[in-house]
Amino acid sequence: MSAQDQEDVYFSTNPPPRHLEAHAAQARAFIDAHAAAGRRVVLVTSGGTTVPLEKQTVRFIDNFSAGTRGATSAEYFLEAGYAVIFLHREFSLTPYARHFSHATTGGFLDFLEVGQGGGVSARPDVSAKMTEILSRYHTARTENLLLSIPFVTIGDYLHELRAISRLMASLGPRGLLYLAAAVSDFFVPPERMAEHKIQSTDLGRRAQQAAAAAAAGQDPSGTDSPKQDSEEEEFDNFDSSPRVPRSKRLIIDLDPVPKLLLNLVDGWAPRGMVSSFKLETDPTILVTKARYSLERYQHHLVIGNLLATRKWEVVFVSPGREDNWLRVKRRGKEWTDEDVKRLRQGEVPKEEPGEEIERFIIPAVKDLHDQHIKANA
């Protein structure tokens, strides 16, 4: 099947999110306003996509990502003069709020106190930081520089990504796509997805079958009546660990998600700069996989990172350039060659990073974007 056919099949069989049209209208107005002002626009994707197992979803598979990379990057893009569309997993980290909503020192309410007059104010020790961040947030909001759009499932994400990328096409090379979301590789296609909560007991399954038979006008007595769990002792040798009968296990059968990055690069936003992240846990394959992704999708930049060391170091892989490793400073000490070697092997330093690595990532991406605009003007 061609990439276009795969796209058509995926989008015609997987329903769009409820607010897609409203989100697209917001994105259109946002992009048009900034295009008219000659401002660059970046689409930052952030957080993990879910794979629902049921239509009325109780259970789902999730992808790792707190949204730190995306939310932090969005702040640095705003600082660098970009208008930001922040397409993020609902309830994951968001720009500015992240400093207080997910702090390790406490929840949001822990930063507030009730004053003598009864009003609420920031705790004195965090007041200066809160004032500074609040003022940056207010600037972004009042100048309409930050548009936040949420997603939850892989389906929501892909529909939103396609709609917004197509709108970004009007920006030509001044549009930047910065794809930091952790995107599911596998999903349950709608025709195989259960409507209701998947039952974990025979009792539940049989009750469901009986209700379905009754609804279809069949004699429910034709189906087995609900039995207590203890009554079922079916057993088979499905695999070499027959401790649990197959009837009690949940076997999930997933299809691959079509690789739509190719469609994005060729068709949705063909003149914009496209950068993606590559996440690995095995240090020996990170750069090879990042290069492979770049060659496969023919886009402009892959930023490789290891799960364990992602806050310390990333590698920029781009066509015709040497690999470029960016690393944060250490608190109170210098990197030795030995330290760097260990870091690159995925060994995490004991202390926290001395600064946010996005402080270096965003100017380096902007630099490549400058070159992209010049080359494609």
Query: Contact with ligand 9Z3 (CB under 6 A): which of 27, 43, 68, 176?
Result: 68
Rule CB under 6 A: is residue 286 a binding residue for ligand 9Z3? Answer: no
Query: Contact with ligand 9Z3 (CB under 6 A): which of 310, 325, 335, 353?
Result: 310
Residues 231 to 260: which contact ligand 9Z3 by CB under 6 A?
Answer: none
Contacts of 266 (CB under 8 A, 6+ apart): 3, 298
Query: Contact with ligand 9Z3 (CB under 6 A): which of 149, 180, 315, 361?
Result: 180
Stretch that binds ligand 9Z3, among 4-12, 149-157, 176-184, 316-324 (CB under 6 A): 176-184
Rule CB under 6 A: is residue 275 a binding residue for ligand 9Z3? Answer: no
Here the tokens at position 24 are 């697209």
Query: Contact with ligand 9Z3 (CB under 6 A): which of 100, 277, 297, 316?
Result: 277
Here the tokens at position 195 are 């409507």
How far apart, in whole angstroms, are the C-alpha atoms of residue 357 and residue 180?
14
How far apart, in whole angstroms, are the C-alpha atoms of residue 84 and residue 73?
10
Here the tokens at position 161 are 């990504």
Which residue in 51, 39, 42 sits closest to 73, CA to CA? Answer: 42
x/- track of binding to ligand 9Z3 for residues 192-231 (CB under 6 A): ----------------------------------------
Contacts of 227 (CB under 8 A, 6+ apart): 202, 203, 206
In Å, what is the CA distance from 62 to each residue of 15, 86, 145, 282, 310? 19, 20, 30, 20, 19
Encoded amino acid at 121, one letter: S
| CB contact at 8 A, 227 and 201 | no
Q: How far is the CB of 145 from ligand 9Z3 (least distance, A)?
A: 22
Q: How far is the CB of 317 from ligand 9Z3 (least distance, A)?
A: 12
Query: Contact with ligand 9Z3 (CB under 6 A): which of 3, 20, 61, 66?
Result: 66
How far apart, in whole angstroms, are the C-alpha atoms of residue 346 and residue 329?
17
**Tokens 């290069």 found at:** 291
Could you tell me whether strands 324-327 and 313-317 are parallel, antiparallel, or unpaired per DSSP bridges? antiparallel
Nearer to ligand 9Z3 by Cβ, of 208 and 293: the residue is: 293
- Count of residues that bind ligand 9Z3 according to CB under 6 A: 15
How far apart, in whole angstroms, are the C-alpha atoms of residue 286 and residue 279?
8
Rule CB under 6 A: is residue 276 a binding residue for ligand 9Z3? Answer: yes
Rule CB under 6 A: is residue 182 a binding residue for ligand 9Z3? Answer: yes
Distance from the first to the final alpha carbon of the chain: 34
Nearer to ligand 9Z3 by Cβ, of 78 and 182: the residue is: 182
Rule CB under 6 A: is residue 305 a binding residue for ligand 9Z3? Answer: yes
Query: Contact with ligand 9Z3 (CB under 6 A): which of 17, 52, 67, 175?
Result: 67
Rule CB under 6 A: is residue 179 a binding residue for ligand 9Z3? Answer: yes
Rule CB under 6 A: is residue 10 a binding residue for ligand 9Z3? Answer: no
- By the criterion CB under 6 A, which residues form the site for ligand 9Z3? 65-69, 179-180, 182-183, 276-279, 305, 310
